[in-house]
Amino acid sequence: MYQYNDSDTICAISTAPGCGGIAVIRVSGPDAISIINKIWRGKPLSSVGTHTAHLGTITDPENPTEPLDSGVATVFRAPGTFTGEDVVEISVHGSVWIQRELINLLIRTGCRLAQPGEFTRRAFANGKLDLAQAEAVADVIAATSRSAHRLASSQMRGDFSKRIGTLREKLIEIASLLELELDFSEEDVEFASRIHLAELAKNLHTEISSLAATFSTGSALKNGIPVAIVGEPNAGKSTLLNALLNESRAIVSDIPGTTRDTVEDTIEIDGVMYRFIDTAGLRETSDHVENLGIGRSFEAIERARIVIWLVTPDISQEKLTELHTEIKKHLAEGATLLTVLNKTDLLASPTDLPHPLQNIFTESQEPVTTEKSTQRPILISASTGHNIDRLTQALHTLSGTNDSAGADLMVTNARHYEALTLAAESLARVLDGLRANLSGDFIAQDLRETIHHLSAITGTITTTDLLTSIFQNFCIGK
């Protein structure tokens, strides 16, 4: 394994791979300025102030007659820089050849190629960011929707870390109260009543658990909310998907499915990214649909947080009940079933619905079922676009973006979620111990464990392995 040496001066291309208008090569480390100075024709960079930009020419000293490129060097002097070290960013023309030659030249002049995420790792090592903030740098860069961006930038600013820090301080306070009790146990003096300590621990347990509980929404907002559109053949699923794609007026991209080799349509609507599961098949054919009309879509239902069940006015009561039972069976824990009646343009008015649908699909009616299905049916026409906005509003409500209480403070990172879950578990043991009046020694042990798990989130306590596993997922140049 590569050994990080923080005294090396590192370099990497920080712009996206390939050819662009310009490319930025970032250099960081104790010799950043002196190394660049050796290949720089222009004002000597050793004498310039911090946070200043300079036009010049990059020339290999071994080939002085043929400059590599003209460019701009921006000099940032330690310690007020991203990494906390001297940093120089060189902007050159975006040719792939120039980028490669410049990196080679920098390496020949004394730099080392940066490891993945090494700039951010150095920022962490130099106390510029804590670990949760460093992880958020990658999330800000990867964000593809307004809500994902908002969550990541709030975390990068340190809001999440502050919350963890406060929880940690309160735990330390309990620990010190318990310690006092231990120190003076011989003297039979009660310093903090067990009831008071249990009260404090209980409140913290509630806070930690509810923070952990935001992970499901937080990770869906970060990665896109999985939505399945199901229904019988010809219900209008692909027409609806196209209507939603048109509605989005935003980037629409095909991304490879995360768990299988399918292509998923992702759509940003009102700042939230939705991943439509298994839609590749929807668009081309309904062949895979088996007799119940939803066939292998069961798998899509299981993976979805929101299931749009499309029915048409001509569906029989029998089929309706049968499909509904099947869908409910496959609905994931916490997922919502959105019943949508399509092709309403074929009806004079929704109240003309043939019996028995009339009772079910009149808008003022209660949902088809109360169990696992909290939404009223929405009446749309996928082909005319009628009420598609109602449907997107319903999606937005279900996305959880509007869940007010600290909406920006959601857990989006699986590592943080795991640590919070472990912290909640050990704190529950503390609580049990306090209630059972166990000896302070036992309780202190679990309390230390709780503090440890929270400390691991922000990196107050960390290991080289943990850092490596986090930063190796970054790209080179970050």
Annotated binding site for K(+): 234, 253, 255, 258
Neighbouring C-beta atoms of residue 373, cutoff 10 Å: 21
Tell me the C-alpha distance between 61 and 109, whole Å: 10
Shortest Å, Cβ 346 to ligand GDP: 5
Shortest Å, Cβ 342 to ligand GDP: 5
> Which of 179, 159, 182, 205 lies closest to 411, judged by CA?
159
User: Which whole-number Å values give the CA distances from 407 to 155, 402, 422, 442, 458, in the listed order?
Assistant: 12, 7, 23, 37, 20
Residue nearest to ligand GDP (CB): 236
Residue nearer to ligand GDP on the CB measure, 162 or 288: 288
Annotated binding site: 26, 89, 128, 234-239, 253-259, 278-281, 478
Shortest Å, Cβ 289 to ligand GDP: 8
Residue nearer to ligand GDP on the CB measure, 42 or 233: 233
Look up residue 315 and give its two tokens: 């569906």
Residue nearer to ligand GDP on the CB measure, 330 or 343: 343
Shortest Å, Cβ 308 to ligand GDP: 11
Q: With beta carbons less than 8 A apart as the criterion, state whether 88 and 39 touch.
A: no
Tell me the C-alpha distance between 163 and 138, whole Å: 20
Residue nearer to ligand GDP on the CB measure, 383 or 468: 383
Residue nearer to ligand GDP on the CB measure, 238 or 336: 238
In the complex, which residues of this chain contact ligand GDP (CB under 6 A)?
Answer: 231, 233-239, 282, 286, 342-343, 345-346, 381-383
The DSSP H or E segment spanning 227 is strand 225-231
Annotated binding site for GTP: 234-239, 253-259, 278-281
Look up residue 7 and give its two tokens: 């005294």
Shortest Å, Cβ 24 to ligand GDP: 46
Residue nearer to ligand GDP on the CB measure, 391 or 467: 391
Q: With beta carbons less than 8 A apart as the criterion, state whether 120 and 129 touch.
A: yes
**How many CA atoms lie less than 13 Å away from 390 in the CB half-sphere?**
17
Shortest Å, Cβ 419 to ligand GDP: 43
DSSP letter string, 380-435: -BTTTTBTHHHHHHHHHHHHTTT--TTTT-----HHHHHHHHHHHHHHHHHHHHHH
Q: With beta carbons less than 8 A apart as the criterion, state whether 198 and 437 touch.
A: no
Inter-helix orientation angle 215-223/388-399, to 10°: 130
Shortest Å, Cβ 283 to ligand GDP: 8
Annotated binding site for (6S)-5-formyl-5,6,7,8-tetrahydrofolate: 26, 89, 128, 478
Shortest Å, Cβ 393 to ligand GDP: 18
Q: With beta carbons less than 8 A apart as the criterion, state whether 175 and 152 touch.
A: no
Annotated binding site for Mg(2+): 238, 259
Residue nearer to ligand GDP on the CB measure, 281 or 477: 281
Tell me the C-alpha distance between 413 and 171, whole Å: 22
Residue nearer to ligand GDP on the CB measure, 266 or 381: 381
